Structure 1
Amino acid sequence: MKYRYLGNSGLKITEITYGNWLTHGSQVESDTAKACVRAALDHGITSFDTADVYANTAAESVLGEALKGERRESLEIFTKVYFPTGPKGANDSGLSRKHIMESINGSLRRLGTDYVDLYQAHRFDVETPLEETMQAFADVVRQGKALYIGVSEWNAEQIRAGAKLARELGFQLISNQPQYSMLWRVIEDEVVPASREEGLSQIVWSPVAQGVLTGKYLPGAPVPEGSRATDTKGGQDMISRFMTDDVLTRVQSLAPIAGELGLTMAQLAVAWVLQNDNVAAAIIGASRPEQIAENVQASGVEIPAELLGRIDEALGDIVESDPSHTRAPAGRP
């Protein structure tokens, strides 16, 4: 397993990072979730990503239980704050000082740790002054509850403004966590250049486009039973944008390219995002330990420029690259 530096910091994380969105506390039973974490550790993954909102806090608890007994200093644990948890009261969401301070304490309790390595703003909060948010993050760092601060799905302008305030307050933003895959490239034109300028790198989610890039969904065919496309708890909605015959047909044309590299289509998809030098890690999820054993094989793979060009040709105009699709909500959910 390869390590990469996260942003302009000394923190090294595994370039394949294990994430438990849509799985722990939701899609899979606790024993299976723990088996997946064990498989991740056995295959050299030491970086783990979660969020308080996943399964309404249950995912953090499952991850904390699964990591119990591991040497804390040998792990990199990431979590996030923004979305509503609990009874969803007036102050149970966003990036106010109140919500951040209460949320970090809840996350640490559920994760069973004194600190997280990376605490991330899960979205940009248009209803709270950015100065208040960044001051709260500065205090979380000074209190030793988080070692580093990152963001998720912030656009270029928001990243620049946040990074400037962070420097003034004596800390730095080191990461952004966006959706990124062969099919979804909206960060490339604006977010990645801004991140390079400000010393952030990307921890990308959904590198296999919610499973579409594995090739298991065939045009005109019923979706596989038990797949993400049948998940009514959220997965079905997320994958729907890719479930068209045009997209699925073009994805199938990637199979020969994966074969030339001796990779599965899922491995090719994960390896592809890691070719971007501003990407520090690709987050993989799993509902079975075997999926981890497969996807970790993408670590260290180099895709020749000629094959990268053929991937672009195969996918053509189905690729989404419009930077305006970077998530910047008009208000809280």
Structure 2
Amino acid sequence: MATQTKKMPKKQNKFIAAFFRRDVEGKYHMSDGFFGFLLTVPAILVLLTVIAAPILKGIYMSFMKYGLKEVSGKAAPVWNNFKNYTDLFRAGGINGNVVDYFLTTLQFVFWAVLVQFVIGLALALLLNTKLKGRGVFRGLFLVPWTIPSVVVALLWRLMLNNSYGIINWILNKLGCIPTTAFDWLNSPNLALPAVVIAAVWRQLPYMMVMLLAGLQSVDKSQLEAARIDGATFMQTLRHVTLPTIRPVVLSSVWIAIMNNFQMYTIINLMTGGGPSEATYTLSIAAYEKAFTDYNFGQGAAIGVMWLVFLTIVTVIINKISAKSAENL
């Protein structure tokens, strides 16, 4: 008596299997992964249009002679190798070349992020306690975040005015300064701290909210165990709280670095990069090269160097964050 053997389905091609799945009857259906990818296609196309395309255009312009004639179409862009980059590293302006502007930017970013983090952490720790009326304080602390950067710049410019600014008046009443007021915005030594103060005031609420969210996720039993063991507040903060919220800290610091590195409006409206280029950051340099000198090639070159540096910073922070996640 002949025995019937069950016909086995053919092995599915690996390429097809990545996009389609086959049921027991041999029919093909779109895989869940491929369907999910199709749903993201519109978003990917938008990102390519608004992010990738300008980046590629900027890289292209940075290697070309791209002035007002080239932009208006009266002349064709001419390939000039690395001239836009080399010209930026030659001495120019009051302080020098793009290296000086980069160092000024780093100085601004360092102090702005450091002050944001320290004050933001202090406020987050305060609001994480059973403080009476903490809901009201949370709302008040968020107010600077809702004010446009233009208004913030003009507000602090008025408050820091050496003739009628309220900051000098308060410092004078407290006995911190003599009758001769600080000329905040016209002094090469005080201009950078002045714009740092304004930038911190504008962005502090975001840092505070992020750190507060991290603090609220800390296991209360760990804090109680540390208290029972006799740990002080600073010991608990250093060995329990901060290690637990490290991923939140890293992401908050990374976002703060990005925001301050591209800070333009506040610096431009308060000091315009002066005095004596004391606040002349890369964002100011890129704008003036492109829209004041009409050297769009050099402006794009600054943007490309800017992009490379921030990419390196992002990779470093991501690696630190990944190691921190493994240790948790």
- TM interval, shorter chain, is under 0.3
More strand per residue: 1 or 2? 1
Which structure has the higher relative contact order (CA within 8 Å, separation 6+)? 2
More helix per residue: 1 or 2? 2
Bigger Rg over Cα = 2
